[in-house]
Structure 1
Amino acid sequence: MLNRVDTPSQSGNSANRGSIDAEVPKFSVIDYDGPVRREAGKLLSVVRNGGSVLTDRDVWTDANIETLVERFVKQPDASGESFFTKLDGQLEGADDDVRILFAEIFLLQMLPITQFRKETKVRNINRVLRDAKGAYEIPPEILEAFDFPVFNGGTAYGVRRYFQLSMLIQFVRYLRTLSKEELDAAFAEPLVWRELVRNAPGTPEPSLRGSLVYMGHPEYFFPIVAEWHKQEIVDAFYPEVTNRQPTGDFDIDLAALRDWLTSDRGITPDFYNGPLALYWREDEEDEDGDEGEVIIDDEDVAEYTIQSIVEDGAFHGAEDLRAIVERWAATRNVVLQGAPGTGKSWLAKRLAFALIGRKLKDAVRTVQFHPGTSYEDFVRGWRPGGDGQLTLVDGPLLQHAERARDYPDIPHVMIIEEFNRGNPAQALGEMLTLLERTKRNEEDALELIYMLEDEEAFWLPENLYIIGTMNTADRSLALVDFALRRRFAFFEIEPQLNEKWKGHLSARFRTEPRRHINEAAQRVNDMNRRIASDRTLGPSFQIGHSYFSAEKEASEFQPWFRSVVQTSVAPQLAEYWHDDPDTVNEITGQLLAEF
């Protein structure tokens, strides 16, 4: 265990190390976290050494962990139902020990947080173990810990439950790959443990990782999972109250405050209430959390997943859609490109919801580029106010970035429609650099073109995701330069006149023989092959399935199909072969032939 907070590799300026020489203020203490500390220690012990807190068997085996990786982590969309309904399918036929292991990982997630009431935590554990054949029991010590939660982790604990539990499964699997020496160091030294938690694989989940950091060394780390709360506390006490400059590491500075206030590491000063709260908070209404108190009682809150997109009517396959989301999670920036009418805009919003895990509309913002879109429109620029004076106004990108920064556990998505209709490099400016995944940190911050007085350099938060849609068939649109392409992953969205599309039309036109719909698909596919093979056109000029996805007003198949060809498809073909009307007439005639 570290006895000092001035670990050389972590503490920054050596002049800042050592005890604080200032008058100690009055403070209250957190006197209810003992049960959580105790049970967290037990849980992390079985995570490392094996065993169980719910049975007398060893459920924390490599084989059981691998089973959860295969059944839960790698199968996020076993059905489009609620969390527990999907979990039933994912764990169907699994041994009792696998179910108990999942329940204990769930327990690790829920243990310290206030969002779930005691009865909800108990109900969740029992729901996981509903089909277990053997005996198990929630010990009274854990029930006591449920009575004394210590912090509010924010809305992510309800919104991103699948992602958090997946990250925990990957975390415990990662621990099993470490040597005894590495584990000994992490369980002995708080800052080593913190780095282990931060570097473990899985989605970011900052509040959950902050919870793990706290539970690993509650004698050192405070039960504070919001980084901006840590920053505000440090800013309030350093240097004005402590007469010492901060080190630049919030946890080290908070630990120094703990040592300054009390020499007993078993006592945790309370920065959310009483005298200490007055130093950094305007009021004491929001006592425990980083996003306000959110009580979650419904264990079957509906998620939004890849399967949800399919059920909403996507003609693209689930595996293709999952590949986009997984790559997006890694790069933070993707572009859906392709022919007109392939559903790029429709997909973009639903992919955003699947990335988030819920339909959180406030976390998704959509803009459209056009030839006149400028940096001043999209990022920041001067605008006339009502008093006739110019005011520096943040554009939608900076506005959404700040909202994302306020809710770090929730992915926030900026959808840019018609990404190449304007000049992307001009509209982005220095954001072109800051969009890069490796630049999403304070160390790589840049000064903006237009700066407010005393404003610091800017960087984009990790949880801001960009998705653009791009029509590659319009020759009048701007080309995307190599610097921008390097920062985005590009996915070609192709026409999908497949069995799902045919099923959609059959459901719309119930009296139409299926052979007519099959024939229509064949004709459109033949047309697209003709377009794709033309050396002056190519695959990006195909006609997408959205042209042929019937509206509610359509009542009869053949009149509707002919109308689409005559009013939408034929004019498009005339643009493609503007100097070859015979080809246009030939293809149009094939489409309009009698069924």
Structure 2
Amino acid sequence: MAIAHPDHAPILKAAAAWKERCFVQDSSILIDDLSLWTPNLLDALDRHFVQNPDAGSGTFFEKLHAQVKAAPPDARQLMAEMLWLLYLFQSNVSVEMKASKIREVWSWSEKELPDDVSYLAAPVLHGIGSPGMGYNTNRWRELVYLIGLTRVFKGLTPDERRHVLADPWRFSAWLATVPMDGHRQFRHILRYFCFPETFERITTATDKQKIVAAFKGLKPKAVGAMNDAAIDRALLEIRQGLEAERGTAGIDFYQDDIKVRWSQAGQAWLFAWNPDNWTWKDLAGNRAATTAGEIVTMPWRSSSTRPKAGDVAYLVRLDREPRGIIARGSIVKEAYEAPHYDPGRAEAGQATRFVDIGFIAIRDADEDPIVGIGKLEAEAPTQTWSPQTSDIALLPEAARRLERLWEGLPPLAAAEKVQMGEAVPMPSSSSSALNLILYGPPGTGKTHRLRTAYLPDYEQEPVKVDRETWLRERMAGLTWWQVAFLVLADLNRPASVDDILQHAFWKAKASGRANRLLRATCWNALQYHVPLDSPHVQVNPVRRTSPFVFDKNEAGNWHLTGEWQDGCADLVELLDVLRAGPGSDKSSIRRYAFVTFHQAYAYEDFIEGIRPEANDGVLTYRVVPGVFRRLCERARLNPHRRYALFIDEINRGNVAKIFGEMITLIEPDKRAVYDEVGRLVGGMEVTLPYSGDTFGVPTNLDVYGTMNTADRSLALLDVALRRRFRFEELMPVPEAVIGAGDGTIPDGEDGEIDLRALLTALNERIAYLLHRDQTLGHAYLMKVRDFESLRRVLLREIVPLLQEYFYEDWHKIRLVLADTQVKEPSRQIVRTGKVSPSKLFGNAEAASEGVVYEVAPEVEVTPEAVRKVYETLE
């Protein structure tokens, strides 16, 4: 039996339905009573897609839309179903992303798919294997192959089709006759979908060949000469042999104890680069070479002789932000001695040890997305990611997680790297925007992941930006009167409005705004902060507001007045930093905002709203931009840098009301694209209801959210929000609990408590009685180092949470804690007692004895009371 995957049933059922309804017949997989997989519609896709390639710029879906725009509407629906088929196997694309893209392509037919399409449900779309990033990169080639083979198959009569599909080897032989460009992975997937009992859940010829070579004892060259059918027959024989050897039919070639017998993967090593110790002069050229597909071989210092040829090598940048993995390759020459890399030490006759690394991908951390140290520490906390020496061995699990993170980085464009002062290329498309929600039970590290793995990507040291960009960032968060204050304080003399408008501070704040409005803005900023007794300013006192720091002299020039140095001390401090320049600024430039949604949070807080202001008893109103609008404005004026909004507890607010019209504008294909001076060059803008301003969500703004599923299920989340975000689930990870070193802590009585087993047992019972969304995250036990702290966490955090979960149903709480399975009170955390109704109410008839519950005091909770929680499951 070749199926061997725990989640195969709904996916293979869907594949079988497709085979009968669409491959043999001409129907539809997503909508009953439609005929989509017909020769005529396949011919239309051949004309508009296969014979109409688009090698230009743009994303896959942008180009696909343009290609099929002139095709019949039902041909566009067929394209959506073909995309469904390509997605069906994949587990390295989220369910939400798959469903969103399938619905998007279907909508090009001017019709929408219903919300309840069964074959778009999570059990069908979660995938059963990862074909790798190449499957995504070559999606258009896989589509060309799928269209071609289906057209050939539809050339057979229905009886001939059934005859071909009646035998797996007959179908495999027929498939081998279909022309294909390169080595298409879908041919392996299609064989598996049609005959999962015969063909393997393996999508690459390389892995199949490695397995056959290892188990059959053949040389790689001999295996490479075998065709698909011979390889698949050999795999079936190997499987049958392993099943007989193990006495089970449930094996998988990717399970660890089998994969180790055929995988040729060597050790993975982490090499270090400190830019302060060695200047990588040709970094830009090396980056460009690997981006173009070349291998760059370089000697790299090694502290040991252990790295072997063929081992994987990663390069981590240290000591200068952003820190993280910047390159990947393999060892091409093992350790050797050569003159020291420092010329002075080399001249003195010193040598050091090197290995040669063939880099297949190099990134510039100052320009490109990298795998940051924060992400690595969150994913693999037991691995050292900032080594003191170059070349430390990566733990197997750390290497696997790093490989996944590296493969998940967006591909680099072949364009030249932007240097300071050059024109900055605009983002190629609005699809570069990321909308991501991390969801899971409480304590699974969602907010921690945001703060450590994602947030650092949007920070920058001031010294790394030019003064103009730095000034724009520093001015962006200030009001107009504050900028005017800084200008007058910097000039240290009376100044005209023209003087203020020409100052660098004002220009930085005004960048990207209409010039005709700036003079009026300046006048208002000055006049509204003039003392009420000023003899030279006649503006209505009702409109004036504190602080009263500006005034005008007889010559009509503006100056600071009153106790401005004390009243605006924070601005005076900021002026010192602005005068000194970026190099003196100790605080990082933060290109993000962090907010928490709650039930009272509103559109007026998020986008814009009218705020009352009281001045000397007089109430006035003005439009105030919210946090999202302010951040979008910063992103608009700096289009070559990415910005981010982090929303904690996104499901606790009324998302539809908070976002308003922005729920449409945050879609990647609706994002606004701006040029260097903030002018709209693509995408959508809307008119805001309070201010009447036009507004768009820039394509260089990413939106992240966290969602606690104990508060609200993902299924109940606003449908509009679900369709516009990618979702990543974070579940409890018992292995992340450290305890005193190995997941255990001493119990104070010469024994120990297994914290990981405790967490696992609690969650198994909670999931059974409630739902997996309400399990306990590993964060609850992350800081537990001894039995005293464990008792505090249990009684002050976990038991109160269980009370909330079970609505004070103490019997179920006792079931979770296994208190019902022991009789001794000393082994119980929640104890029971009887109470007599006659004692309470006197001669009360028909009243039976009641049960009372008591949580044991902390000092009375014994190690045995805790241990029995998980030992009763063993």
State TM-score, norm by structure 1.
0.47
Q: Which has the higher contact order (CA 8 A, sep 6+)?
A: 1
State TM-score, norm by structure 2.
0.33
Whose Rg is larger?
2
User: Higher strand fraction: Structure 1 or Structure 2?
Assistant: 2
